[in-house]
């Protein structure tokens, strides 16, 4: 299924359940994120229920056009209408975390560096840079 999805230009799959053959999909350049991994096949059990409709995964509603961002740590859905705001906040957090790491490398404690750069208020304040 992942090979077919990849061939059709689908960017990746988020599964609210278990999947298998992740290594094969990854080797083919097709990313998969799931709640768990297990060796049992989905053959005769997995089916497409709907296309281009809202779904709910773990209480989060994902609508057509929303943006999914994922890495090895997980996936997050962002409403398309809030993408610019969320992307800016994520960029700001990443930038401050880089500055904090550098401060610690230069001798500050983690607590000092976080306090100095407002780490615990990053999601509520505007970019200080």
Lowest mean pLDDT among 46-55, 56-65, 78-87: 46-55
Q: What is the dihedral of CA 32, 38, 39, 41, to 10 degrees?
A: -70
Residue 69 forms part of a structural domain = yes
Tally of structural domains, the chain: 2
Do residues 69 and 87 both lie within one domain? Answer: no
Is residue 129 predicted with pLDDT exceeding 70? no
Segment 81-101, tens digit of pLDDT: 999 999 998 999 999 999 999
Share of the chain above pLDDT 70, in %: 96
Question: Does residue 129 fall inside a structural domain?
Answer: no
Statement to judge: residues 19 and 55 lie in one domain: yes
Handedness of CA 56, 61, 63, 67 (dihedral sign): negative
| List of residues 6+ apart from 32 with CB closer than 8 A | 2, 12, 13, 14, 15, 19, 22, 25, 26
pLDDT digits (tens, 9 = 90+) for 11-36: 888 888 888 888 888 888 898 888 88
Q: How far apart are CA 108 and CA 1, in angstroms?
A: 50
Q: Domain range holding 116?
A: 83-121
In a domain, 106, yes or no: yes
In this structure, are 13 and 73 located in the same domain? yes
Coil vs helix vs strand at 3: helix
In a domain, 96, yes or no: yes
Q: Do 18 and 52 belong to one domain?
A: yes
């Amino acid at each position: 299924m992942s090979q077919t999805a990849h061939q059709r230009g689908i960017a990746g799959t988020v599964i609210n359940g278990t999947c298998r053959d992740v290594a094969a999909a990854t080797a083919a350049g097709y990313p998969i994120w799931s709640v768990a991994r297990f060796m049992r096949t989905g053959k005769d059990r997995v089916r497409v229920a709907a296309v281009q409709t809202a779904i709910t995964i773990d209480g989060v509603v994902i609508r057509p056009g929303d943006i999914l961002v994922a890495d090895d740590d997980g996936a997050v859905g962002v409403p398309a209408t809030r993408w610019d705001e969320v992307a800016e906040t994520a960029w700001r957090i990443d930038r401050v975390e880089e500055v904090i790491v550098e401060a610690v490398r230069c001798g500050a404690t983690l607590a000092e560096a976080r306090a100095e750069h407002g780490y615990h208020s990053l999601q509520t304040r505007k970019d200080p840079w």
